Structure 1
Amino acid sequence: MSAHVEWSTRSVDETDAFDYWRDMICDAFVQLSARPRSPEPFSGHIAHSDLDTVQLSTVTAGPQQVDRTTSLIARSHEEFVLASIQLDGRGVVQQSGRDAVLDAGSMAFYDSTRPYTLGFDGPFRQLVVQVPKRALTTRLLTDGTAVPLGRDGPARLVSDFFVGLARGAGSGAEMQALAPHAIGLLDFALGIAADGARPNQAAVSRRVRDAVAAAADQPDASVDTVAAACRTSRRTVFRALSEDGTTFTELLRAERVRRAAQLLRTRPDLPVAVVAARSGFAGPAQLHRAFRRELGTTPGEARTITPPGADRHP
């Protein structure tokens, strides 16, 4: 059965309006925190409809910032994909280091299982579509990044459908029959948005390689270190290296050998143990094994050899 409910700050005193609003948005969506962005009196209204697995909320409100924080995520078990369709005003969705700008007519997807921020500097109106992740076959990017969908072509058809569905959701149970079609259409739109948002693979690979090079002299360098430096996920790092035909271990070892070989040539006075430490190796034994594997020689012999790629990172 479909259900429709409306909340408004008009039902409380002006001094209590924003506190009431915080409760409203938590009832309509996932657990959220919020703060106003204007000293002016706040007002807000939400028309919320529940069509089986599809929840539609038309939000009309004043300037504010809404946050889905790590602590709020930890205290809840909701796993939703949300789509904001901007009807009036302007907003920004921020997730995983990416901003999706929402102008009137545009649409953006984001993931409730990752922290995000919604920002509105002025009055706005938007439709928020909320669907359990399990109901969709298409997934957001592996790092949970907010992805935008434009306002023309297929995007316009998708947004028009959901705006019409929200408008009629409170008028009768027959709208329930459209819920399965809504899921399929949302899957379609999410696929378009995710494909358009995927970064250039060559650029990702370059960033990963640069991050490995920067971290190689640290004994505790790891995939997590590189992922954090690239502001992406572990899976993205693994995928970029796999498509380059290498692994994190292989790339890290090769970079450390390159650094060690450069030190051996330019600083012949340094003991092998010092070279190993400055290059990120745990000790001389690990350094010897890596040289045998990468160069087929010993550190001592390598003092007179210029290895491939020696000038790549001066």
Structure 2
Amino acid sequence: MSEPAHMQWSSAAVEGSDALSYWVDVVCDTFVGVAVRPDPDAVFEGRIETSVLDGVAFASLTAGPQEVARTRRFIARDDQDVLLVNVQLRGRARMEQNRRVAVLTPGTMAFLDSSRPYVLDFADDFSQLVLKVPKARLSHRSLNGATAVELDASGPGEVIADFLLGLDRLHGTDPRAAMALLPHAVDLLDTALAWTAGAVLPQASSALTSQRVHRFVRRNLTDPDLDAAAVAVACRVSRRTMYRALADDGESLTALIRRLRVAHAQRLLSTNSEQTLSALASACGFGGEAQLHRAFKAVTGITPGMYRAQCGHR
């Protein structure tokens, strides 16, 4: 089953009295569970256009003044573990999470962690591009407390934001090219997250080595012959250097490969109800169905069959 094409929702499609409840449903379905409180003195309007590229959701939204809050109650009911990348296109927004505040103006970008409460306050009409990225796709999965960080529009943050905007446009005209460029977008987000964590990448050889290893593994995870020797040679480092760099991240090479292969298996299971587990194992780089079963249960706590059933396939 292919990923859904571009979808559009607009509050103008329903009666005025139903516009808010319709908008809340669309926002929760598109992003994560939140409470939405519009400006009581304004006529509410909102529009969202969404698409999904290899498990990464892109959403362009335009709406009126509102406050969006993700509380612990919503997190308990909807435990998605994703990074929300917010690129401000028009208007201003105030973001607060984990006692950190970022003010977004056109051309700036900030991150939100779905596993922690946050508040977004839009005082005026606004437009944003928002990416919803599963943390399993990222090397830097922890924001180390700095969960709402603004990247200067006049610096490297602008380069990253422009790339994301261009990728979103390209997906609408040339999905194959967009798919080829998506890993580079994930790499850029990893770099931005490293900056927020205080890593000075040009001088941090260990961080650079770790990023190269993660990048190579992501791009070759379906190769059944992927091992430490192959990764070290491809990244032009010794095995010792590679192991030391990964140790700084707290994850071994074996665990990294297993986690990424399982994440890939999850994506395939959620979109293909016909593929056998043996074929799935091969498609994800596992040596066989038994290896897939052990790795999947070790990472997710359930079997591939149980996961497929949860996705609604029989």
TM-score normalised to structure 1 length: 0.60
Q: State the Cα distance separating 1:145 from its structure 2 match.
A: 2.6
Aligned residue number for residue 51 of structure 1: 53
Match of 1:193 among 189, 196, 208: 196
Runs of at least 5 residues in structure 1 that lack an aligned partner in the other structure:
197-314
Match of 1:67 among 69, 77, 88: 69
Contact 2:144 2:197 in 1 (8 A): no
Aligned residue number for residue 139 of structure 1: 141
Instruction: Tell me the alpha carbon deviations over residues 177-209 of structure 1, each in whole angstroms, 9 at most, x when there is no partner.
Output: 22212111111122223328xxxxxxxxxxxxx
In structure 2, C-alpha distance between the alignment counterparts of 1:110 and 1:39, rounded to whole Å = 28
Aligned residue number for residue 176 of structure 1: 179
Aligned residue number for residue 87 of structure 2: 85
Q: In structure 2, do the counterparts of structure 1 residues 144 and 151 end up closer, same or farther at CA, with 3 Å as the change threshold?
A: closer
Aligned residue number for residue 108 of structure 1: 110
Give the SS at the match of 2:129: strand
TM-score normalised to structure 2 length: 0.60
After superposition, the CA RMSD in angstroms is: 1.5
The runs of at least 4 consecutive aligned structure 1 residues that moved more than 6 Å come to none
Contact 1:18 1:42 in 2 (8 A): yes
Structure 1: which amino acid aligns with 2:169? R
Alignment of structure 1 residues 202-213 onto 2, 5 Å = none
Match of 2:121 among 115, 119, 122: 119
Q: State the Cα distance separating 1:31 from its structure 2 match.
A: 1.0
Aligned residue number for residue 159 of structure 2: 157
Give the SS at the match of 2:7: strand
Give the SS at the match of 1:58: strand
In structure 2, C-alpha distance between the alignment counterparts of 1:130 and 1:69, rounded to whole Å = 18
Give the SS at the match of 1:170: helix
Q: State the Cα distance separating 1:27 from its structure 2 match.
A: 1.2
Aligned residue number for residue 285 of structure 2: none
Give the SS at the match of 1:176: helix
In structure 2, C-alpha distance between the alignment counterparts of 1:146 and 1:194, rounded to whole Å = 12
Contact 1:110 1:140 in 2 (8 A): no
In structure 1, C-alpha distance between the alignment counterparts of 2:154 and 2:195, rounded to whole Å = 12
Verify: 1:40 aligned to 2:42, yes or no: yes
In structure 1, C-alpha distance between the alignment counterparts of 2:92 and 2:159, rounded to whole Å = 20
Q: State the Cα distance separating 1:139 from its structure 2 match.
A: 3.3
Give the SS at the match of 1:86: strand
Instruction: Tell me the alpha carbon deviations over residues 7-45 of structure 1, each in whole angstroms, 9 at most, x when there is no partner.
Output: 111110112111110001011101111010242211101
Structure 1: which amino acid aligns with 2:114? S
Comparing 163-172 with 67-76, greater Cα deviation is found at 163-172
Alignment of structure 1 residues 208-247 onto 2, 5 Å = none
In structure 2, C-alpha distance between the alignment counterparts of 1:123 and 1:180, rounded to whole Å = 32
Q: State the Cα distance separating 1:144 from its structure 2 match.
A: 5.8
Which is greater in Rg?
1
Q: State the Cα distance separating 1:53 from its structure 2 match.
A: 2.6
In structure 2, C-alpha distance between the alignment counterparts of 1:144 and 1:150, rounded to whole Å = 15
In structure 1, C-alpha distance between the alignment counterparts of 2:93 and 2:69, rounded to whole Å = 13
Give the SS at the match of 1:134: helix
Alignment identity in percent? 45
Q: State the Cα distance separating 1:107 from its structure 2 match.
A: 0.6
Contact 2:47 2:62 in 1 (8 A): yes
In structure 1, C-alpha distance between the alignment counterparts of 2:165 and 2:40, rounded to whole Å = 28
Give the SS at the match of 1:162: helix
Give the SS at the match of 1:21: helix
Contact 1:89 1:103 in 2 (8 A): yes
Q: State the Cα distance separating 1:165 from its structure 2 match.
A: 1.3
